[in-house]
Amino acid sequence: MVEFFQWLEATGGSVAIRESILLYPIIESTHVLTLCLFFGFIALMDLRLVGIALRGVPVSQITSRIQPFGVAGFVIMVISGALLFYSSPMRAYGNIFFRVKLVLIALAGINALLFHKTIFKSVDDWNDALQPPPRARLAGLLSLVFWSGVVICGRMQAYKWFD
């Protein structure tokens, strides 16, 4: 895998982003600003599941009307993130925060999948509840923890503390 990343780092596109005065900052700030869309919307949905924000707004309304914007944010996040990775794969590869970040994204994904496959199926029973059932609250809390961890690791990636 190291050889592949070294090859990737030597490709023209990678060098171009890395050495560009404008391209890198633009991709980087797009990545960071999408936090407002992706993390912000996800966090509010999670806080509703936990039962402390947007109380009184039916959960299914939030998932059907807000989640699409969160997903759009996620797509921009992944594309801009992939470009950032492409610009210096070797630096990311050896970075402990980057590795933890990938694990946390996977955990957040599994958590979301489990939520939709299990407790969310009965959402009609607790749609208007100010406090959703414990399993839904736990899913919301875990999502908040995992995604916050992703944001923190993403920021810390810039610091090469344990490289």
Partner 1 sequence: MDLLPYFQSFEATFIGTKVRESLWMFPVIECVHLLALGLLGGAAFVLDLRLLGIGLRDQAPPDLERKLHPWLRASIAMLILTGVPMFLSEAIKCYYSPPFWYKIGGLILAIIFTFTVRRRVAARTADKAPVIALASIALWMGVAFAGRWIAFY
146 binds partner 1 (CB under 8 A): no
Residues 6+ apart with CB under 8 A from 137: 49, 50, 51, 131
Please report which helix (H) or strand (E) contains residue 140, including its range.
helix 134-156
- Based on the shown chain and the rule CB under 8 A, indicate whether residue 53 belongs to the binding site for partner 1: yes
- Rounded to a whole number of angstroms, the minimum distance from the CB of residue 14 to partner 1 is 20
Q: How many residues bind partner 1 (CB under 8 A)?
A: 32
From 49-57, 82-90, 113-121, 126-134, give the range in contact with partner 1 by CB under 8 A: 49-57
Residues 9 to 28: which contact partner 1 by CB under 8 A?
A: 25, 28
In the bound state with partner 1, the residue whose beta carbon lies nearer, of 35 and 79, is 35
Q: Which of 65, 116, 121, 160 binds partner 1 (CB under 8 A)?
A: 65
Site for partner 1 in 80-139 (CB under 8 A): none
- Smallest gap from Cβ 49 to partner 1, in A, equals 14
From 36-44, 88-96, 118-126, 132-140, span contacting partner 1 (CB under 8 A)? 36-44
For residue 46, CA distances in Å to 2, 31, 42, 82, 142 come to 37, 21, 6, 26, 9
Token pair listed for 75: 């797509």
Dist CA 122 CA 62 (whole Å): 15
Residue-wise DSSP of 75-138: HHHHHHHHHHHHHSHHHHHT-HHHHHHHHHHHHHHHHHHHHHHTGGGGHHHHTT-SS--HHHHH
Residues that bind partner 1 (CB under 8 A): 25, 28-29, 32-33, 35-44, 47, 53-57, 61-62, 65-66, 69, 148, 151-152, 155-156, 159
